[in-house]
Amino acid sequence: MNITSLETFLAIVETGSLVRASHKMNVTQSTVTARLKTLEEELGQPLLNRSKSGTSLTPAGTKLLRYARTMTGLWQQARFETGLPAGLSSVCTFGCHAELWAGPGKAFFDRVISGSPEMAVSVHRGHIRDLEDWLDQGLVDVILTYDTALRGQQTAHSLPAEELVLYSDRPDTPIRNSRSYIFIDYGPDYRRQHDEAYHDAGIARVNFDSARWGLEFLLEQGGSAYLPSALAEPHLAAGELHILTQAPRFQRKRNLVVNDSAARNWQWFAPLVAELQG
């Protein structure tokens, strides 16, 4: 088994067909087919069901998928760390929730870059479950995410909570029962708080699980939505959004979670955490 075969398997899964995988990897379809055949022969199991409409995973392929992602990820990390240019002695691999880059994510990155010139930094964007898995598997050293469950030798450092404020494109938008209200799902804790505050409200017509997508829709179509203050601030300053001051506000926990073995050699880490904690 080799890494190229695993990368080809992942490309087929991600694109849904051998043809698209060949385009993605810039090789011929026959090469993709040969690599997949070699992998299946080594494992003694078919990994993909093939049809005119595309491919789907077999039970064996489903089991291999998680290991293939881990193995290729570790290989990429190993290549990155062993191939450091002159003047760099170590690597910080940073996983950041997609919606936390603006604010604490960028602040963490900037401080590592400016304060540790001997360190290379690799940044990976993901969602909560992705980040937890990457940290657990050793693919990243530290993650910035929302409330999370610790696994193994990890330490969570609480950062100031993210404030969620009700914004609208019109200052006179009603707080309750607005037909243009956009619900953004920030997770179970938020849903509980929101349900308690708006127990008498109906179900919103439009729902998003991304604050950025919800904001884009609000700016294009109008309406109101709960948004992180850091995300909405530029549009507030430009007069595109208004705060509905009578509406309740909510908070969402944020955590910087680190692999203890990695942080053990980081003299800069504790001061940086203290700075982010404010």
Where do the structural domains in the chain lie, given as residue ranges?
Answer: 3-80, 86-158+254-277, 161-252
How much is the pLDDT for 152? 78
Helices (H), the chain: 3-15, 18-25, 29-43, 59-82, 106-115, 128-137, 188-197, 211-221, 229-237, 260-263, 269-277
Residue 102: the pLDDT is 81
| Contact predicate 70/63, CB 8 Å | no
CB 231 within 8 A of CB 211: yes
pLDDT at 86: 61
Look-up: residue for tokens 């290729």?
72
Question: 86-158+254-277: CATH homologous superfamily?
Answer: Periplasmic binding protein-like II (3.40.190.10)
State residue 117's pLDDT score: 82
At residue 108, what is the residue type? F
54 conformational bin, left if phi > 0, alpha if psi -120 to 50, beta if neither: left
* Whole-number pLDDT of residue 82: 65
Looking at CATH, the fold of the domain delimited by 161-252 is given as D-Maltodextrin-Binding Protein; domain 2 (3.40.190)
pLDDT, tens digit, 9 for 90 and up, residues 98-147: 889 888 999 999 999 888 888 888 898 888 888 988 888 888 899 999 97
pLDDT at 197: 92
CATH class held by domain 3-80: mainly alpha
Distances (CA, A) of 264 to 141, 205, 271: 11, 49, 13
Specify the pLDDT at position 215: 96
Backbone CA torsion sign across 167, 172, 175, 181: negative
Shared fold status for 3-80 and 86-158+254-277? no
75 Cβ contact list (under 8 Å, min separation 6)? 3
pLDDT at 140: 87
Sign of CA dihedral 211, 216, 217, 222: positive
The token pair that represents 252 in the structure block: 């969402």
The pLDDT of residue 76:
73
In this prediction, the residues of the chain whose per-residue pLDDT falls under 50 are none
**Alpha-carbon distances of 12 from 1, 133, 210, 254, rounded to whole Å:** 17, 22, 27, 35
